[in-house]
Structure 1
Amino acid sequence: MVENIQLTGLVLKIVRIDNPVIGFLEEDARHLHHSHNDALVVSIQIGDYNTHRVLVDNGSFVGTLYYSAFQQMRIGREQLIPTNVPFVGFGGTRVYPLGTVTLFVTIGDYPQQITRDVAFLVVDYSSAYNAILGCPTLNLWKAVTSTYHLMMKFSTKYRVGEVRGDQVVARKCYIAMLEMDNHFSTTCIEE
């Protein structure tokens, strides 16, 4: 009969690092097919949902959540804060959002992860992506991206966290977006 249990061996303590150096090494790109011009497409947790096909776009001035993903998250439309300011989407099209919603987003793997509230514009527009992370979010996270490495790194309390892009998914999204553009072009020609 066991009356008491003792831990033996070493218990590693995670050291807090206040200002880690963020860098990329050639080995960070070892599993990629080179040469490539693929977008950085990642999977992150938005609210309570693991969300795939999230485009990381350093050139976007806003975070975007597409309405189809918003619906799948079972968030009530009453949580949207109305907005009537349009923004310019891909190809110069003017997009009117349904509203804004703030959701908590978690990136990285424990313990090198961060969770922050992120404001998204919700748009009812066709896309191969579920969401787009733009500059405001990347700056909030102090994230550094590398399209060559298809990776995003960011500072956490316990070293540098990272999120790797999925090259196969990025290529599938690219093809899907091309097919959407071809469909829209065909529609315009028929008119």
Structure 2
Amino acid sequence: MSVARLPAESNNPKPKRAKVEIRPVLGFSDEDKIKTIQPHNDALVVTLMIGGYDVKRVLMDQGSIVEDMYPDLYKGLRLKPEDLTTYNSPLISFEGKTVIPKGLTRLPIQTCSEMVEVNFIVVDAYSPYTVIMARPWLHALEAISSSLH
């Protein structure tokens, strides 16, 4: 009759566990709706780190196809005319007017651990926002914006 024996414990340390990368997730739950008046159709306005600065009044607009930057932020970031490259396509403003852009500039946006370079079209027009972030940036981050919360 044979007896199965368990291997003797060795002096080897415990096996190493695989490192699990925990990535921060920006998400929302029903608890986030507690202090909001429902239903609502408010715009999604956030703060982003653009070019190394916290930039407030950033509108998330899934209906737009270009990222727009307005003069107050352009001046606030201390950008100069030589920081612009030519951009000749006219845009349509919120009022339905044709706007000729001043040019295009490329700046990094930091979101958690992700750094994404974004092309901003600089427009000399009034806006209550400093920047409008559009679909290309959301797609680059593989993100979905939610105005519900």
TM surpasses 0.5: yes
Distance 1:106 1:22, change over 3 A: closer
Give the alignment of 1:138-157 within 5 angstroms.
138-149=138-149
- Whether contact under 8 Å (1:22, 1:144) holds in the other structure is no
How far apart, in 1, do the equivalents of 2:79 and 2:99 lie?
21
Q: How many residues align?
A: 132
Structure-to-structure mapping, 1:146-185, within 5 angstroms: 146-149=146-149
Kindly state the Cα deviation for residue 38 of structure 1 after the two structures are TM-superposed. 0.8
Q: 1:86–1:97: 8 Å Cα contact kept in structure 2?
A: yes
Seq. identity, %? 38
CA distance in 1, matches of 2:63, 2:19: 35
In structure 2, the partner of 1:115 is: 115
Instruction: Give the TM-score of the pair, scaled to structure 1.
Output: 0.63
Unpaired stretches in structure 2, ≥5 consecutive residues: 1-17
CA distance in 1, matches of 2:145, 2:125: 26
Alpha-carbon distance in structure 1 between the residues aligned to 2:25 and 2:50: 27
Larger radius of gyration: 2
> Aligned pair in 2 of structure 1 residues 30, 114: CA closer, same or farther (>3 Å)?
farther
- Unpaired runs of 5+ residues, structure 1, are 1-12, 150-191
Partners of 1:22 and 1:106 lie apart in 2 by 14
More helix by share: 1
Match of 1:74 among 78, 92, 97: 78
TM-score w.r.t. length of structure 2:
0.79
